[in-house]
Structure 1
Amino acid sequence: MNNRKRNREKNIYKYLITLVITIVIGIVGYYCPELINTQKTNEIVNNDVKNVNTSELKDIPQYTDFPYVYINNNVPNFLESEYITKPFEKYSELDSLGRCGVAYVNICKEIMPAEGEKRGDISSIKPSGWRQKKYNGEFLYNRCHLIGYQLSAENANEKNLITGTRYFNVTGMLDFENKVADYIKNQAEDEDRHVLYRVTPYFEGNNLVATGVEMEAYSVEDNGKGVSFNVFVYNVQPGITINYKTGDSSRN
């Protein structure tokens, strides 16, 4: 009888512990969902980001559900001779179809916008394939900087603006631009950090809209410890079909 009583008490105790834990998790999940979702988010990133050991457009997989893929194991293709600390900006001339080419910059505070500097108007630029359209009250396309304004202070530079979707610009490119900007902004007073940064738009055949861009970055002074990546970002908009040859679009 005593054994039964003890077992029953243990079962009740275990039940109460489980109930308390469940309630606590529920409260935390309601008020602080980010604490519960952190591991899940990391798992999604680790599982879904593919790696491509080439920068050949034909070898890059079709877009599935993730905005970018790693190229060359996420290692940029800069030569050691390029690891310099002299600021520079290089923008390719437009080709015969009016398309942008490679944009290559050595990012540092010297070329970034000054504190409080206001961004200029870029509405005068019509990049190749600019066939603007609204879906659900929002414009499909942005005038997308190859080298983001926060990194270069470039405004209406036609050699630096391509036709890109909101998803491509904000969900795809912006996070990588922020990594570089934050690294430079957080330098100590006695530091002068530099990041080699190259963005290459990929156009298939005579298409006027880029399929996507390759983004490469490498922090020079610390040999890539601060910033180092090589990704291909897809120029897509979920739910929308884009005619990359012309820039026309329609709902899926």
Structure 2
Amino acid sequence: MAKKRSKQQLGRPKYFKTAVTALVLVVAAFSLWPTDTKQTKHNFGTTTSKQINGGVKKDTNPGHAQAATNADLLKIQWDGTLDGDIVHINNNQASFTSQELNQKFPGVLGDKLRPIDGLSLSALDSLGRSGQANFVATMASMDNVTKRPARIPDSVRPSGWYINDQFNGTAWVGGYHYNPKVKLGGSTQSLWNKSHIVGYQFFGMATMMTENMTTGTRVENAYPGQLVPEDDIRAALKAHPNIAIRGQVTPLYIGTERIPRGVHYMAKSVEDNGQSLNLNYWIFNVQPGITINYQTGASQIN
């Protein structure tokens, strides 16, 4: 005699086995579907498309712009992304004249603007803001750099580092410092950095002065920011230790604003006329998710 089926078995529809079989086939099909297990990484050496306002022509390649003047650079609009922090200018070719390319900038004893061979800084302007720096970096200059201090001294105080302070003609005094923590790259970091105009890695302690600093966001300073051209220069010198790299870094401001909108960074190898290195970057002083008042230094997390 056949075994009596349970009440549960009796309640199953006739097409139950067919449905189960179909489900098994679907699961098997998805298990064979190709997947990409690699994580997408930001390539901080490249840039994405930009919106260019009037006066600046857009290159055919995204992330590039033509700019003949500082005013043109200030018209370039940030696209809001980390990768978009850097724009390649004029086909990424530095615009040094032959005379400018071969400048040496010997150090002058007792002159803080020419503190060491190869580095020339600008005096603070009438509003207390740092200006253009010129340099010639070599393996010799880098080899002489000592270990960087854990922090930049309080006496090194660029415009915009404090809010409601005053420039007394020599230095910034008074006011208060506000540096909110922001999320970046999976961690929490301070929004504002004392950003070297010419990097410490090229001339060491000679770069640790107000005239060589701006108030820069973490993104502008090193994420990706100025760390990109600095690493480009360092890599070129290591690959070609007998060459020199001529560099120029120019913070740009709008009107009387205390904090620069960005820096124009050019560098070119001297002996081979740019064969080893030739770059022309505009680097925005911005931070995703933050609204910055460039006039006062105040910031707001959106």
TM-score range, shorter chain: 0.7 to 0.9
> Relative to structure 1, is the Cα distance of residues 243 and 43 closer, same or farther in structure 2, using a 3 angstrom cutoff?
closer
The aligned residue for residue 78 of structure 1 is: 96
> Relative to structure 1, is the Cα distance of residues 237 and 43 closer, same or farther in structure 2, using a 3 angstrom cutoff?
closer
The answer (yes or no) to whether the contact 2:64–2:90 under 8 Å persists in 1 is no
Match of 1:204 among 237, 254, 278: 254
CA distance in 2, matches of 1:242, 1:70: 24
Rg comparison, structure with higher value: 2
Q: Residues 50-107 of structure 1: CA distance to partner in whole angstroms, max 9, x if unpaired? A: 3123232355322113102222222212111233384521100011221111100011
Match of 2:78 among 38, 44, 63: 63
User: What is the Cα-based RMSD across aligned positions, in Å?
Assistant: 2.9
CA distance in 2, matches of 1:230, 1:250: 31
Name the % identity.
32
> Relative to structure 1, is the Cα distance of residues 55 and 231 closer, same or farther in structure 2, using a 3 angstrom cutoff?
farther
Q: How does 1:98-137 map to 2 (within 5 A)?
A: 98-114=128-144, 117-120=146-149, 121-124=151-154, 125-131=156-162, 132-136=178-182, 137=188
Instruction: Considering fraction of residues, name the structure with more helix.
Output: 1
Match of 1:89 among 71, 95, 119: 119
The answer (yes or no) to whether the contact 2:158–2:211 under 8 Å persists in 1 is no
Report runs of 4+ in structure 1 exceeding 4 Å deviation: 19-23, 41-47
CA distance in 2, matches of 1:169, 1:56: 20
Unmatched 5+ stretches in structure 1: 1-18
Comparing 47-56 with 205-214, which one deviates more in the overlay?
A: 47-56
Q: How does 1:1-252 map to 2 (within 5 A)?
A: 23=34, 26=35, 29-30=36-37, 33=39, 48-58=62-72, 60-65=75-80, 66-84=84-102, 86=104, 88-114=118-144, 117-120=146-149, 121-124=151-154, 125-131=156-162, 132-136=178-182, 137-153=188-204, 154-170=206-222, 171-187=224-240, 191-252=241-302
Q: Residues 183-239 of structure 1: CA distance to partner in whole angstroms, max 9, x if unpaired? A: 11233xxx5210110000001111000000000000011211111111110000110
Aligned length: 223
The aligned residue for residue 19 of structure 2 is: none
The answer (yes or no) to whether the contact 2:198–2:207 under 8 Å persists in 1 is no
TM-score (norm 2): 0.66
The answer (yes or no) to whether the contact 1:193–1:220 under 8 Å persists in 2 is yes
The answer (yes or no) to whether the contact 1:84–1:220 under 8 Å persists in 2 is yes
Shift of 1:43: 9.3
The aligned residue for residue 173 of structure 2 is: none
The answer (yes or no) to whether the contact 2:200–2:208 under 8 Å persists in 1 is no
Q: What is the letter of the counterpart of residue 101 of structure 1?
A: G
The aligned residue for residue 8 of structure 1 is: none
> Relative to structure 1, is the Cα distance of residues 128 and 222 closer, same or farther in structure 2, using a 3 angstrom cutoff?
same
